[in-house]
Amino acid sequence: MKKFKNFIRGKKRVFIILGIVLVITIIVKLVFFNKSTKIQYQTTKVEKGTIVSSVSASGQILNANTISINTQASGTVKQIYVKDGDVVQNGDKILEISLDLKGTQKNSSAWSSYLSAKNTLDSAQVSNYTLQSDMFTKWETFFNLAINSTYQNSDGSPNYINRALPEFHIAEKNWLAAEAKYKNQQSVISQAQAALNSAWLAYQLTSPIVTAPMDGTLTNLVVVEGMVINNDQSTSTSTTSTNQSQVAVIQNDNKPLASFNLSEIDIPKINPGQKATITLDSISDKTFTGKVMTVDRIGTTSSGVTTYPVIIQLDTNVAQILPNMAASANIILDSKNDVLYVPSTAIQNSGNQNYVRILKNNKEQQANVETGLTSDTETEITSGLKEGDVVITNTITNTTSTSTNKSSSPFSGIGGMRMGR
Q: Same domain, yes or no, for 77 and 222?
A: yes
Using DSSP bridges, classify how beta strands 216-219 and 245-251 pair: parallel, antiparallel or unpaired: antiparallel
Q: Which CATH number fits the domain that encloses residue 120?
A: 1.10.287
pLDDT of residue 389: 87
Q: Same domain, yes or no, for 153 and 299?
A: no
**406 has pLDDT over 70:** no
Strand partners, 368: 355
User: Which phi and psi angles does 191 have, rounded to 5°?
Assistant: -65, -45
Q: Give Cβ neighbours of residue 61 (< 8 Å, ≥ 6 apart).
A: 256, 257, 258, 280, 321, 322, 323, 324, 325, 327
| 18-23 CB contacts, 8 Å cutoff, 24+ apart | 20/414, 20/415, 20/417, 23/414
Within-domain flag for 249 = no
Q: Which CATH number fits the domain that encloses residue 345?
A: 2.40.420.20
Strand partners, 131: none
pLDDT of residue 11: 61
Residue 270 CB neighbour total at 10 angstroms:
19
pLDDT of residue 261: 94
Q: Same domain, yes or no, for 142 and 221?
A: yes
Q: Same domain, yes or no, for 327 and 347?
A: no
| Tally of structural domains, the chain | 4
Looking at residues 293-305, what average pLDDT do you find?
91
Give 37-68 pLDDT, tens digit per residue.
Answer: 567 878 888 888 888 888 999 999 987 777 88
Looking at residues 289-310, what average pLDDT do you find?
92
pLDDT of residue 259: 94
Burial class (CB in 10 A: 0-12, 13-18, 19+), 324: exposed
Range in 239-253, 266-280, 304-318, 381-395 the model is least confident about: 239-253
Q: Same domain, yes or no, for 101 and 80?
A: yes
285: pLDDT confidence band, cut at 50, 70 and 90? confident
Within-domain flag for 183 = yes
Q: Same domain, yes or no, for 342 and 301?
A: no
Q: Same domain, yes or no, for 85 and 182?
A: yes
Looking at residues 62-76, what average pLDDT do you find?
86
Q: Same domain, yes or no, for 270 and 145?
A: no
Give 103-113 pLDDT, tens digit per residue.
Answer: 999 999 999 99
Residues spanned by the domain of 372: 42-51+337-398
22: pLDDT confidence band, cut at 50, 70 and 90? confident
Q: Same domain, yes or no, for 91 and 173?
A: yes
Q: Same domain, yes or no, for 143 and 227?
A: yes
Q: Same domain, yes or no, for 15 and 124?
A: no
pTM over 0.75: no
Angstrom distances, CA of residue 242 to CA of 72, 202, 261: 8, 11, 30
DSSP strands (E only) in 202-251: 209-211, 216-219, 228-229, 235-236, 241-242, 245-251
Q: Same domain, yes or no, for 84 and 224?
A: yes
Within-domain flag for 308 = yes
Q: Which CATH number fits the domain that encloses residue 59?
A: 2.40.30.170
**410 has pLDDT over 60:** no
* Three-state secondary structure call for residue 243: coil
pLDDT of residue 255: 86
- Residue with the bigger pLDDT between 5 and 145: it is 145
